[in-house]
Amino acid sequence: MVRSPNHGRRSLIGGTQVDELTECARIVSMSDARVERILDAAYECFTRHGVRKTTMDDIARTAGMSRPAVYQYVRNKEDAFRRLAARIFDDALARARGAAVADGTLAQRLDRILAVKLAVTQRLFRDSPHASELMGETARVSADLDRAFMAQMADLLTGTITDAAAQADLALGDENAREIAELALALTRGLEADLSDPDRPRERLRNGIALLVAGLAATAQPASR
């Protein structure tokens, strides 16, 4: 028997023909929404109780789901933490990339990129009395995600610096641009060590980046030479 090319592509659901791909997309969308709901609940529990004192029951209750339902999407508490960390890093990287292409001087763009990184830590310390524990848990459970995030941030900063140098007709090798990017990231991480004054780190970051860019402008040679 010769089958139609579209055989099996559609199914009868509730008396209405629904394209199977559309139905699959709907199921995936529902699944994604539930994962987001679980991760929102995990953030609330981790910031309120700390990781050690948070249980899967806490996460399920906060998400308004049963514990077995939560286990359909995350394997355990550490898996929830890793997924949450990945979401935070992905969101921060997206915002940083937006800052990189926004209008402004090189100093302003670098400042805005790094302000995203600083804001991640500032938010954690603002939202939770367990911020230090959560930072330690990131190092223990999600160190690879943190390294990948920092590498992508360094790449973004390096690209922003080299593009600005090219537009200004300055001779700046990739290695020098990378070094400046690494220095800027180190400055940001150093500022994260003391967040007792919420406004001071942001001001210091702006001033530090201004100094780095001023030094670059003073020492770089025109590319035409």
Tokens coding 103: 């209008």
Q: At residue 165, does pLDDT exceed 50?
A: yes
**Per-residue CA distances from 159 to 31, 102, 173, 197, 208 (Å):** 36, 14, 11, 32, 19
pLDDT of residue 12: 41
In the chain, where are the structural domains located? 10-74, 78-225
pLDDT digits (tens, 9 = 90+) for 2-29: 444 444 444 444 545 556 644 444 444 5
pLDDT of residue 225: 53
Q: At residue 196, does pLDDT exceed 60?
A: yes
Q: Are 170 and 220 in contact (CB under 8 A)?
A: yes
Please give the CATH architecture assigned to the domain spanning 10-74. Answer: Orthogonal Bundle (1.10)
Domain at 78-225: CATH code: 1.10.357.10
Q: How far, in Å, CA of 136 to CA of 127, rounded?
A: 16
Position with higher pLDDT, 189 vs 169: 189
Neighbours of 171 (CB within 10 A): 13
Global pTM value:
0.84
pLDDT of residue 138: 93
Residue range 54-81: mean pLDDT, rounded: 96
pLDDT of residue 124: 95
Q: Are 143 and 133 in contact (CB under 8 A)?
A: no
pLDDT of residue 216: 87
17: helix, strand or coil: strand
Position with higher pLDDT, 67 vs 25: 67
Residue range 180-205: mean pLDDT, rounded: 94
Q: At residue 147, does pLDDT exceed 90?
A: yes
Q: At residue 90, does pLDDT exceed 70?
A: yes
pLDDT of residue 19: 64
